[in-house]
């Protein structure tokens, strides 16, 4: 006789997978922007425009911090144009989103205990 196992609905598992998928897409956009800045992805393509738009949205909270740090060192304001060189705000955004991901996943894991 074959034994069948029934799986019950696990909301916390679905929530974990959904959160991981969302953060994976965020990281994918930010890494794609780094590749675009290094010239590996063409900025003239439709993918390039999509990456530029969404990476600017995802890096916006960090750019304010970056301009404040730049003024501490006597800089005249750092502005990077997409595809024309490396933008350190994208690396800072990638690190920031990784920290946010770890905090959100910690909260999501608490649902396993409920």
Does 82 map to a domain?
A: yes
Instruction: Give the pLDDT band (50/70/90) at residue 107.
Output: very high
Does 63 map to a domain?
A: yes
Does 3 map to a domain?
A: no
Higher pLDDT, 71 or 7: 7
Does 102 map to a domain?
A: yes
Does 91 map to a domain?
A: yes
109 HSE (CA, 13 A, CB side): 6
pLDDT at 69: 54
Quote the CA–CA distance of 48 and 29 in Å, as a whole number: 10
Give the number of other Cβ atoms within 10 Å of residue 104's Cβ.
14
Does 1 map to a domain?
A: no
Does 4 map to a domain?
A: no
Q: How many structural domains is the chain composed of?
A: 1
Does 38 map to a domain?
A: yes
Domain extent, residue 101, equals: 12-113
Higher pLDDT, 71 or 34: 34
Residue 16 has pLDDT above 90, yes or no: yes
Residue 88 has pLDDT above 90, yes or no: no
Residue 82 has pLDDT above 70, yes or no: no
């Amino acid at each position: 006789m074959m034994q069948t196992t029934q799986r019950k609905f696990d909301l916390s598992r679905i929530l974990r997978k959904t959160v991981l998928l969302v953060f994976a897409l965020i990281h994918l956009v930010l890494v794609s922007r780094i590749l675009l800045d290094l010239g590996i992805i063409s900025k003239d393509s439709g993918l390039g425009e999509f990456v530029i738009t969404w990476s600017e949205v995802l890096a916006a909270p960090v750019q304010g911090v970056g301009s404040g740090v730049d003024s501490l060192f006597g800089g005249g304001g750092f502005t990077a144009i997409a595809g024309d060189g490396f933008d350190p705000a994208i690396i800072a955004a990638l690190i920031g989103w990784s920290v946010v991901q770890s905090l959100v996943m910690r909260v999501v894991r608490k649902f396993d205990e409920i």
